[in-house]
Amino acid sequence: MTQYLLLFYQDEQQAGEPPAAEVSRAHRAFIAANGSALQGGNALEPTTTATSVRPDGAGGFMVTDGPFAETKEQLGGYYLIEAADLDAALALAKQVPMAAGGVEVRPIRAVSGAVG
């Protein structure tokens, strides 16, 4: 089995449609139906709460408010899943409750000595 990250992107301006309670119910149903494949996941706070850290090129760091890039769609959450192959991961991604935006599927690369 391979681990994949399902990354949810959508326009934060549309995040309130449908209502949060409806979205929460849909995600609980997704989790109940696919719990054996799910290894973790969560929603992210809006990009207004983000802080970015970048090397400044002189051995220090620049810390700025906001995300790294200005984009139309923002990363809003993720699920960490385990699937037999990419096709199985894509089948799960197609079930993720999304009113708008989309789901990016990325395989996890095992790194020697990594945490977890």
Domain boundaries, the chain: 2-107
Contacts of 112 (CB under 8 A, 6+ apart): none
C-alpha–C-alpha distance, residues 20 and 34, integer Å? 21
Q: What is the mean pLDDT of residues 27-55?
A: 91
On the question of pLDDT at 115 being above 80, the answer is no
Percentage of the chain lying above the pLDDT 90 cut: 55
On the question of pLDDT at 16 being above 60, the answer is no
CATH architecture of 2-107: 2-Layer Sandwich (3.30)
CB 41 within 8 A of CB 82: no
- Mean pLDDT for all residues in the chain: 88
On the question of pLDDT at 63 being above 90, the answer is yes
